[in-house]
Amino acid sequence: MNPFARAASVAALTAALSVTATSVPTSASASATATGGAASAHRQGWSAAWSAPMMRPSAAPWFRTWAVQGFDHQSVRQVVRLGTGGKAVRFRLSNLYGTTPLRLSGASVGRAADGAAVVPGTVLPLRFGQRDSVVVPVGGEALSDPVPLPVAARDRVALTLWFDGPTGPTTYHQLSMTTTYRADGDHRGDTGAAAFTDAVRPGYGSWYYLGGVEVTGGRPVGRAVVAFGESTTDGFGATVDGDDRYPDLLAERLLDAGRPRPVLNAGIGSNKMLADSACAGDSALSRFRRDVLDRPNVGTVIVSHGMNDILRGGDQICGVDRDDPPVTLQRLIDAHRALIRAAHARGVKAVGATLMPFGGAPFWTARTDGLRRDLNEWIRTSGAYDAVADFDRAIDPEGTDAIPDGYHAGDHLHPGPLGYRVMADSIDLDSLR
């Protein structure tokens, strides 16, 4: 192993979106970026190939994770599918919500095989400033050295992190719909899956510390599309390890149509537009810059947001006894306009997505459904967005105000795989130019 200098990581505070409407709350959100940032990465030929919004550690109310307990003398293997290819890859590791420095003892990357296995002959060390280990400061991010691993769009890669000591609670992404594997001891070089006997099953999976993957040296592709939203973007109800969320299927459509572009998933389950949450991430207003605009080479954002504000008046699902200010149509419109302004200021096209129906769900009420329909009508007709992805009419063409049976995940709220296919197929590819 070659010695190396300190990893390039800098902690910096960035303000949340500047929102002029007084009816929309604003707050500062800590956001750490590696030296150079997204603009520098794009100038140097790096493009985002995969990303996940980072969240503070919490006990998920719906399924088990390792976020609160963290890792200790363990290897963690995580599998992601890339949205674009290149001759080299690099990884962004986040300690955004850490309360102590994150000490990573070592890491490796290789082509993913089945389960926790890695294709033999493809495992390469992941280094930071030519060293195996790195310390990521509180609130900071570490950017790895480039790894000469040629990849193509839709390839799957496996990242293995080795922690030779306790991490404490983790910065993570709660809902991955992808299995993450854990093993006792250092198993960075293992191609087999035998040591990785620990996984959260049955469960939906989470990603830990991994905020992004970037590539360089590939064939030119269009600028990235970011799908920004809630659980219907994050992929709740999709197939675990099936990569059939709507952003995945949209990326496949673009590739099949000869218009390859990475589609980055910036969804967070139960996330709100207007309010931060103890277990469902910072608000859309707080995180839009970090999770969308600061990604390298972004050209378009699809905004599908506001349902959780409509359905939940507080943060009780996270065990927090808090009621949020009443949500009105005007507050939601002001928030959407703030995101559009921020996107346009960066030269990013903004596509508005209508919210899907939820008739048949136990918490349906005429008031909440009326607010959803009113917001959808504004998205369709106001002209504020550059284009519209009408998920509502695509999934419910007869106007029944319900997702048809067979297209939802059993709860009348979240699509299943067929529903996600309808969403992806409904998007006009020309609107993403």
* Closest to 355 (Cα-Cα) out of 413, 421, 416, 424: 413
Whether 39 has a pLDDT exceeding 60, the answer reads no
Average pLDDT over every residue of 167-186? 98
Average pLDDT, the chain: 90
Provide mean pLDDT across the span 17-44: 38
Residue 35 pLDDT exceeds 60: no
Average the pLDDT over each of 43-47, 166-170, 257-261, 331-335 and give the range with the smallest value: 43-47
Of the ranges 3-12, 81-90, 200-209, which one carries the lowest mean pLDDT score?
3-12
pLDDT at 375: 98
Please report the domains of the chain, with CATH numbers, ordered by start residue.
Answer: 31-212 (no CATH), 221-432 (3.40.50.1110)
76-87: average pLDDT: 97
Q: How wide is the angle at C-alpha 420 spanned by C-alphas 417 and 423, nearest 5°?
A: 155
Average pLDDT over residues 181-197: 98
Cis peptide bond upstream of 202, omega within 30: yes
Enter the tokens of residue 322: 């808090």
Average pLDDT rounded to a whole number, residues 233-255: 98
Lowest mean pLDDT among 28-42, 120-134, 149-163, 381-395: 28-42
| Residue 28 binned pLDDT confidence (cut-offs 50, 70, 90) | very low
Per-residue confidence (pLDDT) for residue 184, from 0 to 100:
98
Mean pLDDT of 337-346: 98
80, 83, 85, 91: CA torsion to nearest 10: -50
C-alpha 10/C-alpha 269 separation (Å) is 28
In sequence order, which residues have a C-beta less than 8 Å from that of residue 367 and are 6 or more positions away?
none
pLDDT recorded at residue 23: 27
The pTM score is 0.91
Range in 58-62, 221-225, 244-248, 381-385 the model is least confident about: 58-62
More confident residue, 203 or 407: 407
Contacts of 329 by beta carbon, 8 Å cutoff, 6+ apart: 371, 374, 375, 378
Share of the chain above pLDDT 70, in %: 90
Tell me, letter by letter, the H, E, C secondary structure of the chain.
CCCCCCCECECCEECCCCCCCCCCCCCCEECCECCCHHHHHHHCCCEEEEECCCECCCCCCCCCCCCCCCCCCEEEEEEEECCCCECEEEEEEECCCCCCCEEECEEEEEEECCCCCECCCCCEEECECCECCEEECCCCEEECCCECCCECCCCEEEEEEEECCCCCCCCEECCCCCCCEEEECCCCCCCCCCCCCEECCCCCCCEECEEEEEEECCCCCCCEEEEEECHHHHCCCCCCCCCCCHHHHHHHHHHHCCCCCCEEEEECCCCCCCCCCCCCCCCHHHHHHHHHHCCCCEEEEEEECCHHHHHCCECHHHCCCCECCCCCHHHHHHHHHHHHHHHHHCCCEEEEECCCCCCCCCCCCHHHHHHHHHHHHHHHHCCCCCEEECHHHHHCCCCCCCCCCCCECCCCCCECHHHHHHHHHHCCHHHHC
Q: Tell me the pLDDT tens digit for each residue of 57-70.
A: 998 888 899 999 99
